[in-house]
Amino acid sequence: MCLAVPGQILSVSGDDPLLRTARVSFAGVVKEVSLGCLPEAGVGDYVIVHAGMALSILDQEEAAQVLRDLEQLAALLDPPEPPA
């Protein structure tokens, strides 16, 4: 039920912050989404959307950090071959 999907904002319409909407692309599928809870979101942002409502802007730096952390875990496991 709490499934929420990342998508990218293509365009924004409306002036009232609570009633702003966006066209959001989910890997090519475009849906109209409320931006009423994300007054700071704009075109190009990746947002997490649930039940027609954008809930957060995805932080690209944090997104990359998860993958770097995992690489580090793996590196601890397999130390690189020492140079010959």
Partner 1 sequence: MKFVTEYRDAEAARRTAAALARLTTRPWTIMEVCGGQTHAILKFGVDQLLPPGITLIHGPGCPVCVTPVELIDKATEVAARPEVIFCSFGDMLRVPGTRVDLFSVKASGGDVRIVYSPLDAVTIARDTPEREVVFFAVGFETTAPANAMALYQARRLGLANFSVLVAHVLVPPAMEAILRAPDNRVQGFLAAGHVCTVMGTTEYEPIARRYRVPIVVTGFEPLDILQGIHACVRQLEEGRAEVENRYARSVRREGNRQAQSLIRQVFRVVPRRWRGVGEIPASGLGLTEAYAAFDAEARFGVAGSRPEAPSECISGEILRGVKKPMECPAFGTRCTPEHPLGATMVSSEGACAAYYRYRRATAAPVQSS
Maximal CA-CA distance, the chain: 66
Query: Smaller CB distance to partner 1: residue 77 or 84?
Result: 77
Restricted to residues 20-39, the positions that interact with partner 1 (CB under 8 A) are 26-27, 34, 36-39
Of 15, 44, 67, 81, the one binding partner 1 by CB under 8 A: 67
Of 10, 11, 18, 42, the one binding partner 1 by CB under 8 A: 18
What is the spatial distance between Cα 60 and Cα 66, in angstroms, rounded to a whole number?
A: 10
Give residues in contact with partner 1 (CB under 8 A).
Answer: 1-4, 6, 8, 18-19, 26-27, 34, 36-39, 46, 48, 50-53, 55-56, 58-60, 62-63, 65-67, 69-71, 73-74, 76-78
